[in-house]
Amino acid sequence: MTKRWVVFSAAFLCIISLFLWRGTPEIVPVALLFDERDTTGAVVSRQALQSVVLAMEYFNSRSSSRKFQPVLLSETDPSSALRTAAERNVSAVVGGISVPSPSLLSEASNRFGITVISLAPGSFLAKGDDLVFRPRPDSGGRSLGSEAKKRGMTNYSAIVSGFESGYVQEFIRDFEAGAGAPPRRTMIFSGDLNKQIEDFGRVASGMDAMLLVLPDWLAAIALRELRLRTPGLPVYASNRAVSHRTPLLAGDTGEGLLTAAVLPREWFPGGSGFPGFVADTYGEHIPPITLSIGYDAIAMLDAVLDRAGTTDAGAVARAMAGLERVESSAGPASLDAGGDLPLPQGIFSLTKQGWIPVSGSSSPRFSSVTPGEIPR
């Protein structure tokens, strides 16, 4: 009797242990790469990574088997950061919207065998032979330029940031490709701003429109001054201008500023799903345009973890290279040959209530996005 009781007790304990083990969620450490020295677009950069952390919390709230855990990296150069990430056994790294050294990030991802989901757009990271993948590979410049052309723009000048020269140059090239014409004049807006503001009238003279490639606070200043000097002149801006501060800083002069960004499904700006979760737990000040970036970054990582079946960085990297589709903020979408996620671009207008979509894109480039059920 005693022997049977011992065997029964041991079996019972094994069953309970197995049940408890299965009920313990798997921790997925994800490192965040952010350059704290960035002061030009700090709010935009921070909000992009905040959206990633909020998306982690949202996915955590919907899963009992997997929990994302953010790990902040203090290193600023890609090689040191990815070395630290590998030493800390994270599953993947998420990088911000600005990449000071794209080639180093690409090389380091291969050297340390770790997946990097970069929020930065541009062709400088469009490679198929590294472990860098992006939910926002397009700057939006081409779509914005096409919209400006459709609205009758033929001559325009640009006011640009003196920082992030790689991004600025590429955005202008994209805008030029969409508009079919280069800017007639280009002003770098930095240094003595008051002196440069005095030249706004000259720069805008004879133009059909103005293009701003500036972070939110500089874009708001430039917009206010342009409205005073050239009322009624259409103004377009890169989506670096998108933040909760822009309508506050620009005031009434901000009405009608146009930008281009990924156009999420109708569910996204609503009161349910991820936006509703953010509004209930954090607040409503981060624009849906920015929230969708974080959502899609974690949607990519969540999908690849399902495919890998483990949180091991090597397995995640191998699975990421073979990932084909993701349930994105814009619906079910296919990744391109480089592992990036091209999504439909829409045109957004600034109002007192924030950034409101005014049109979508029918570009064949985004034919990979197919109709489907509303994503979670």
Give burial (CB, 10 Å; 0-12/13-18/19+) of 241.
buried
Whats the size of the chain, residue-wise? 376
Q: How far apart are CA 9 and CA 15, in angstroms?
A: 10
Q: Which of 270, 289, 287 is nearest to 353 (CA)?
A: 287
* Residue 53 three-state SS: helix
The structure tokens 């909020």 sit at 54
pTM: 0.86
Sheet strands side by side (includes 345-351) = 185-188, 156-160, 209-213, 235-237, 258-262, 345-351, 354-359
Per-residue pLDDT of the chain (376 residues; tens, 9 = 90+): 465 544 454 554 444 444 444 458 899 999 998 766 655 556 788 899 999 999 999 999 988 889 999 998 888 788 999 999 999 999 999 998 877 677 788 899 999 999 999 998 888 776 778 899 999 999 999 999 999 999 999 999 999 998 888 889 999 999 999 999 999 999 998 877 888 888 898 999 999 999 999 999 999 999 999 999 999 999 999 999 999 889 888 989 999 999 999 988 765 545 568 888 998 888 888 888 999 999 999 999 999 999 999 999 999 999 998 899 999 999 899 999 889 999 999 999 998 878 888 876 433 333 333 333 333 3
Q: How far apart are CA 261 and CA 326, in angstroms?
A: 19
**In 15-162, at which residue ranges do the beta strands (DSSP E only) sit?**
26-33, 66-73, 92-95, 115-118, 132-133, 156-160
Domains of the chain: 26-137+266-344 (3.40.50.2300), 141-262 (3.40.50.2300)
